[in-house]
Amino acid sequence: MFEDDIQTIMFSADEIAAKVKEIGENITCDYKLMTEDIFCVGILKGAVMFYTDLVRQIKTNVKFDFMVASSYGSGTKSSGAVKILKDLDYDVAGKHMILIEDIVDTGITMEYLLKYCRGRGAKSVKICSLLNKPSRRVADITIDYVGFTVPDEFLVGYGLDYDGNYRNLPYIGVLKPDI
């Protein structure tokens, strides 16, 4: 049973749902007076669960877009080079964007995507991440909307993977060290 690979549950499905609702309310509050659409950009694949739950808690017009980014580097050490594997579908020049991510770790991916979206002429770009792991931060970025701050442990579930697995767990847990 794959759930046997989980050492502890850090955030239950209910805790995640409550936090996602709260973030959605904050975003609604900040953007509701805006007449323009918000371009919500999910960073695949990790953000997929968070994205689909979050957008349903945002009570104003949003447009869906997605990006896939990969950071080069071996193992857990990132070289700092980020490559966009799937680009935006929309022309975001003059648009308000929110980048929706599962976890900000070193921050290298988000720093790159932030610069990239600004380079595409977006009017504003905010970052929304369910999890924040500040202990390993390298890039100096501001996360505008954050769910939970987490310790330096390897987390899986609710979109987060280890070697492509565990994304479908409904909660976020710590993987057993021997896995």
Residues identified as active-site:
105
Question: Token pair of 117, please?
Answer: 């979206």
Considering CB distances under 5 to 8 angstroms, the limit depending on partner class, which of Mg ion, ligand IMP, none binds residue 10?
none
Q: Which residues within the stretch 66-105 sit at the binding site for Mg ion (CB under 5 A)?
A: 102
Taking the complex as a whole, the smallest distance from the CB of residue 2 to ligand IMP amounts, in Å, to: 16
Contact 60, 28 (CB under 8 A): yes
Using CB under 5 A as the binding rule, whether residue 24 contacts Mg ion is answered as: no
User: Residues 5, 71, 118, 124: which binds ligand IMP (CB under 6 A)?
Assistant: 71
* Residue whose token pair is 């609710």: 158
Considering CB distances under 5 to 8 angstroms, the limit depending on partner class, which of Mg ion, ligand IMP, none binds residue 78?
ligand IMP
Using CB under 6 A as the binding rule, whether residue 106 contacts ligand IMP is answered as: yes
User: Residues 10, 31, 41, 46: which binds Mg ion (CB under 5 A)?
Assistant: 46
Contact 143, 26 (CB under 8 A): no
Going by their DSSP bridges, the two strands 124-132 and 145-149 should be labelled as parallel
Total residues at interface with ligand IMP (CB under 6 A): 18
Strand ranges inside 36-168, DSSP E: 38-44, 62-71, 82-86, 96-104, 124-132, 145-149, 155-156
**Helix, strand, coil fractions of the chain, as percent rounded to 5:** 25, 35, 40
Applying CB under 5 A, which residues contact Mg ion?
46, 102
Applying CB under 6 A, which residues contact ligand IMP?
46, 71, 78, 101-110, 133, 154-156, 160
